[in-house]
Amino acid sequence: MRRRAILGYGAAGVGAVALMLFVGWWQVDGPGGPEPVGQRPVALTEMDFRLTDHEGNAVGPETLIGRPTMAFFGFTYCPDVCPTTLSDISGWLDDLGDEADEMNVVFITVDPERDTVETMAEYVGYFHPAIRGWTGPEEQIARVADGFRATYERVPTESGDYTMNHSASVFLFAASGRFVTMIDYHEPREFAVPKIRRALEEETEGAT
């Protein structure tokens, strides 16, 4: 009996430690943790860039202000991260139902040399219809990436071609243009969707 009690206390202790570690991860490195101040995207109202969407329309930061925004950087030749994330985003939008219509959802290329308007139009057509593809001159892509605090670089391949390394997080902004939070690559749906709803709620609160 005494041995059972000791084992029970031990299991409870391990459980408590595991819970504390999880809470610590959530608040520091996990979905509940704050982004480092120096790496936080600036507000959309402070950005200045000019791109073109996959239908040939001129777009900029003002295009996004007025509705919550979900944005992701990538490129159409991306072998895994981009199609996986865009598929995740499509699933999140399905979960939101009609609320998805209240959001801007943009996929911004970091490879404008290959990702023309036509290429972007074909690529985003494989995913949720709310997703818009944005491309433009290299210097404008650099400007928007700087505002979002997104990183990317061109990496030569052994075949003589190249690929792109880039930030894999999804950025969320409130309708006012204020940065809300990020959704990490492969973040579980049960964490991602509530973050999106938080951006939507900020939009609703601002309208009341």
The annotation places the binding site for Cu cation at: 78, 82, 166
Phi, psi of 164 (to 5 degrees): -130, 130
β-bridge partners, 181 = 172
Binding-site residue ranges: 78, 82, 166
The helix-helix angle for 81-96 and 189-207 (nearest 10°) equals 50
Q: Which residues are CB-contacts of 192 (< 8 A; sequence separation ≥ 6)?
A: 88, 92, 170, 183
Query: Hey, what amino acid is at 162?
Result: Y
User: Which phi-psi region, left, alpha or beta, contains residue 65 (left: φ > 0; alpha: ψ -120 to 50)?
Assistant: beta
Measure the CA–CA gap between 61 and 21, rounded to whole angstroms: 39
Measure the CA–CA gap between 32 and 110, rounded to whole angstroms: 28
